[in-house]
Structure 1
């Protein structure tokens, strides 16, 4: 009779130790998995948060494109849709390759890596360099169309006293 409580106590202690060791292992694994799941690889909405989480490194300043067969595919992973319309791998001035969104209205890379609107004084609208002062489809700003046969002059539809047709407003 005296041995039954001792055996029972021994089993309880062994079970408790086993549960503690298993739960510690599981929580360590879960903590590691949680860190993997909750830490974003890239933050597209808040670039400041990304820089803090990744030691101050900006993904666009790194040679993400590398020498792979599909560099633009890698850029699509780094700069995902819908925030970025057309990510491409472009060469920079210092012979480094970086990912840029050439689909954005960016005057340095307008629709492609090599098309720049800056030297001509034009603006990038939908991947095309346009003159906002005279373009009837982009009069004064991108997407502002002059109605009918009204001309765009100085960025205003019908500048010389004609109707000021604004297709969007």
Structure 2
């Protein structure tokens, strides 16, 4: 009888541990999934429509979805293309359109990865943990006299 109770309690404990680890893993996956969805849903409105797409649609020729596939040789739709009123600069990096002014894996040029704790701010890898002009994220300025610590203005 005691062995049966211990076996049941052990099984319940193992199931709880597995459930908690799956819950943590699934929320991490959901966060990663949200980041991917956020990336894929974002669109770049081109400053100048792509001329080589012809008369199909001026609207379609003026929008590129973030992460759109490209090929440097045959389908290079984002080779130095300006978008969003000059705020973005698109290049074909590893077969996908990337904004080299904000992509931390392609900062300023394709393949230039920013280090841990850095973001790509206007094409420059920037430490957002301690920079008062980019505190926690790009272009988030701290008030005069406030310092930036761990990505938070006024951190003491």
TM-score (norm 2): 0.48
- Select the structure with the greater relative contact order (CA < 8 A; seq sep ≥ 6): 2
Structure with higher Rg: it is 1
TM-score (norm 1): 0.45
